[in-house]
Amino acid sequence: MERNTEDSERLNTLLHSAYDVDTVRAMERPLLDRDMPLMRMAARAAASTALQMLADADLDVAESQIALLAGAGDNGGDGLYAAADLARDGAAVTAIAVGRALHDEAFAAFVQAGGKVLVLDPQSDIPGCASGFSAGEAGERLHTAITLASQSDLLLDAMTGIGIHGSLRGIPSTLAKSLGLDGDLPSEPAIHDPQTIYDRDTPLVLAIDTPSGIDIDEGTLSGPYIPADATVMFGALKPCAMLPPAAYACGAITLVDFEFDIDEQQPAIESADDGLARQAIRLPHLDDAKYSRGVVGLITGSARFPGAAVLGAEAAARTNTGMIRYLGPQRAQNMVLTAVPEAVIGKGHVQSWVVGSGVPTASADETGIDAQRSTIAALLAHYSTGDELSGDAEPAPTTHDDADSPQDDPSTIEAYDMPAICVDAGALDLLPAHVPPQVVITPHAGELADLLADLGEDIDRAQVQAEPWRWAQRAHDITGATVLLKGAITIVVGDDGDGGTRTLVSGSAPAWLATAGAGDVLAGITGALLAQQDGLLQQDSSLCVEVAAAAAYVHGMAAGIASNSDQQGWQTPQVFGMPPVVAEDNAGHPIVASDVVRTIGEALEELLS
């Protein structure tokens, strides 16, 4: 079916925006008031997806055993209608009622289609089904349900949907513990052939709207949950579809478009895409000079870690900038000039800074006097919102040697209009107490935990991994910085320009990118894009969140090209009823960070074409 430009733009927005539960319910209400058959529409999509999953696994529907975990609410009704369709197609379907009731009309349709029912709650009030049985029989029924579900070919998960808050309790909790995972974080996406999910003894799992046990709005996993191979999500994406770790439990997502009116609705989460990344790239003009194309200043690397300076400088130089300036120890200077002979050593006017990559932290600095740290600290002091200085403070030129001898007096820093700055790795502990949004910090989970702990939070790496969005928001709230939390799905939190916060995610990278130096490359790309957009950022610093997300997206694209891998941390959902986007399924090959640097140009070319 062809769509006009307006429809295509709306659908693209829908596929890259996630809305919280209250907003989804508000968008549903006008359609329900007009008696739109949303439940039947949802059920048809779920049944169709189930049939496709069986076909992909070489299973004949007429010979398949299907189990449905059915809750008492509308989500259970969606599942019952879908199960009825599958029963009419010849499958043997058993609905396991986990609560005291079932959706009346959907249950009637299911029974009429020949479905069987297993009731688990002795106090159930389901027409035609036994109730009031003993505790002993209840235990036997629960055991039967677990056996039936675990031995089925396909498990339809319609226990909870978006109507539950907090961890699963009672019978749903017991089922999730037996059939799913008990609060353990799922693995981030691994390199594998997607078809291998079918080569196993456990059933395929199709979640109806959302997997049971995940937190819909926060994207966390606070207790038992049932990870899905696929999820059919209705009306709009929910935050759990984009936020780790819950996003990893959703599997492949198919979105059923109910044609919600999204024009006036504010998404909770947005995902970076080609369009966002393209906007962050400033095309060169015929009358440009190297200075107008963006100049990046880097205070990176050290005598111990000079490679970080090389990777960041190369990345910045290849990301469409006119010039880079480098400040660092002699050994790093020599290596940077060998890799990037166009680099200029020493201070001068810049449109962005990149600091900290390859610079030892205070605890790792054995001498206690690292010249790079001194220079960075003096520079960052000018970004403190409590400092009356304005302008782009520039450090004095470096002349130190491989021993990292003290640099020129940082007090010689001069003040100009402050450009955006990317603060990475060893500079994170030098961040002032509060800074403006044009300060972009790029920690991984462990570094964010350390930063927050230094700021008084009782936090460790595992807690950040369990609730990454919460802690990225907390870091933004405390420091004012734009926070880019690195991961298979990178989370970027910053100002929205209206006194609130905005969150973007980027999942464009393959797992091969988990390699030494990858963060140094990302810092260089981030600095380059910040420099290109300096004019706009001076007018509206809230755009930093978009530029930072674009940097993560370009970084991931370059890694995909370098590794020849089509895998991504977050895949754009398919749209039910539209031709599927067929991936190449290239597993790819190992890469090192310098491979990513060499493919940045190809990534930019692909975006611009």
Q: Whole-angstrom Cα distance, residue 108 to residue 110?
A: 5
% of the chain at pLDDT higher than 90: 78
In a domain, 1, yes or no: no
CATH number at residue 67: 3.40.50.10260
Asked if pLDDT for residue 516 goes beyond 80, the answer is yes
pLDDT digits (tens, 9 = 90+) for 109-119: 999 999 999 99
Q: How confident is the model at residue 127 (pLDDT cuts 50, 70, 90)?
A: confident
CA 159 from centroid of its chain's CA atoms: 25
Q: Which residues of 531-562 are buried (b: 16+ CB within 10 A; e: fewer)?
A: bbbbebbeeebbbbbbbbbbbbbbbbbbbbbb
pLDDT at 7: 79
Task: Please tell me whether residues 291 and 256 are part of one structural domain.
Answer: no
The last residue of a domain, from among 261, 291, 314? 261
Q: Which has more pLDDT, 418 or 188?
A: 418
The last residue of a domain, from among 261, 287, 320? 261
Residue 327 in 3-state DSSP? Answer: strand
Asked if pLDDT for residue 70 goes beyond 60, the answer is yes
**Residue-wise DSSP of 151-187:** TSSEEEEES-TTS--SS--HHHHHHHHHHSEESPPPP
Q: Which has more pLDDT, 483 or 161?
A: 483
347 annotated to bind ligand = no
Residue 425 in 3-state DSSP? Answer: helix
Q: How confident is the model at residue 128 (pLDDT cuts 50, 70, 90)?
A: confident
Task: Please tell me whether residues 417 and 538 are part of one structural domain.
Answer: yes
Task: Please tell me whether residues 405 and 469 are part of one structural domain.
Answer: yes
Q: What is the DSSP letter of 199?
A: S
Backbone angles phi, psi at 182, to 5 degrees: -100, 70
476 annotated to bind ligand = no
487 annotated to bind ligand = yes
In a domain, 268, yes or no: no
420 annotated to bind ligand = no
Task: Please tell me whether residues 326 and 233 are part of one structural domain.
Answer: no
Asked if pLDDT for residue 251 goes beyond 80, the answer is yes
pLDDT at 163: 76
In a domain, 3, yes or no: no
Q: Which residues contact 162 (CB under 8 A, 6 or more apart)?
A: 21, 24, 25, 75, 209, 210, 216, 238
| Tally of structural domains, the chain | 2
Task: Please tell me whether residues 169 and 79 are part of one structural domain.
Answer: yes
In a domain, 528, yes or no: yes
Q: How confident is the model at residue 452 (pLDDT cuts 50, 70, 90)?
A: very high
In a domain, 269, yes or no: no
pLDDT digits (tens, 9 = 90+) for 182-236: 656 665 554 433 333 334 468 999 999 999 999 999 999 989 999 999 999 999 9
In a domain, 143, yes or no: yes
Task: Please tell me whether residues 492 and 515 are part of one structural domain.
Answer: yes
pLDDT at 362: 77
116 annotated to bind ligand = no
Task: Give yes or no for a contact between 270 and 504, defined as CB atoms under 8 angstroms apart.
Answer: yes
Q: How confident is the model at residue 365 (pLDDT cuts 50, 70, 90)?
A: low
pLDDT at 482: 98
Asked if pLDDT for residue 581 goes beyond 80, the answer is no
Window from 52-56, 252-256, 384-388 with minimum mean pLDDT: 384-388
Task: Please tell me whether residues 240 and 297 are part of one structural domain.
Answer: no
CB neighbours (10 Å) of residue 586? 14
The last residue of a domain, from among 200, 230, 261? 261
Question: What's the per-residue H, E or C state across 511-566?
Answer: HHHCCCCHHHHHHHHHHHHHHHCHHHHHHCHHHHHHHHHHHHHHHHHHHHHHHCCC
CATH number at residue 364: 3.40.1190.20
For the CA atoms of 241, 247, 253, 258, the dihedral, rounded to the nearest 10 degrees, stands at -10
Task: Give yes or no for a contact between 438 and 418, defined as CB atoms under 8 angstroms apart.
Answer: yes
pLDDT digits (tens, 9 = 90+) for 428-437: 999 999 999 9
Task: Please tell me whether residues 151 and 228 are part of one structural domain.
Answer: yes
Residue 501 in 3-state DSSP? Answer: strand
Asked if pLDDT for residue 2 goes beyond 80, the answer is no
Q: Where in the sequence is the domain holding 457, given as residue range(s)?
A: 274-571+578-608
Q: How confident is the model at residue 121 (pLDDT cuts 50, 70, 90)?
A: confident
Of residues 557, 549, 468, the one with CA closest to residue 508:
557
Residue 299 in 3-state DSSP? Answer: strand
Q: Whole-angstrom Cα distance, residue 54 to residue 114?
A: 20
Asked if pLDDT for residue 577 goes beyond 70, the answer is yes
Q: Whole-angstrom Cα distance, residue 12 to residue 18?
A: 12
Q: What is the DSSP letter of 191?
A: S
CB neighbours (10 Å) of residue 609? 6
Task: Please tell me whether residues 280 and 389 are part of one structural domain.
Answer: yes
Q: How confident is the model at residue 1 (pLDDT cuts 50, 70, 90)?
A: very low
pLDDT at 177: 93
Q: How confident is the model at residue 164 (pLDDT cuts 50, 70, 90)?
A: confident
Task: Please tell me whether residues 289 and 213 are part of one structural domain.
Answer: no
Task: Give yes or no for a contact between 273 and 570, defined as CB atoms under 8 angstroms apart.
Answer: no
519 annotated to bind ligand = yes
- Mean pLDDT, the chain, rounded, equals 89
Q: What is the CA radius of gyration of the chain?
A: 27
Q: In what order do the strands lie in the sheet with 204-208?
A: 116-119, 92-97, 65-70, 154-158, 204-208, 230-234, 252-256, 574-575
Mean pLDDT of the region 165-176: 90
Residues in the chain: 609
In a domain, 412, yes or no: yes
Task: Please tell me whether residues 251 and 365 are part of one structural domain.
Answer: no
Q: Which has more pLDDT, 181 or 193?
A: 181
% of the chain at pLDDT higher than 70: 89
In a domain, 94, yes or no: yes
pLDDT digits (tens, 9 = 90+) for 382-407: 999 864 333 344 444 433 343 333 33
Cα distances (Å, whole numbers) of residue 386 to 71, 381, 436, 512, 544: 54, 9, 10, 42, 21
Q: How confident is the model at residue 411 (pLDDT cuts 50, 70, 90)?
A: very low
Asked if pLDDT for residue 142 goes beyond 50, the answer is yes
444 annotated to bind ligand = yes
Task: Please tell me whether residues 229 and 326 are part of one structural domain.
Answer: no
Asked if pLDDT for residue 31 goes beyond 70, the answer is yes
Place of tokens 């379907």: 93
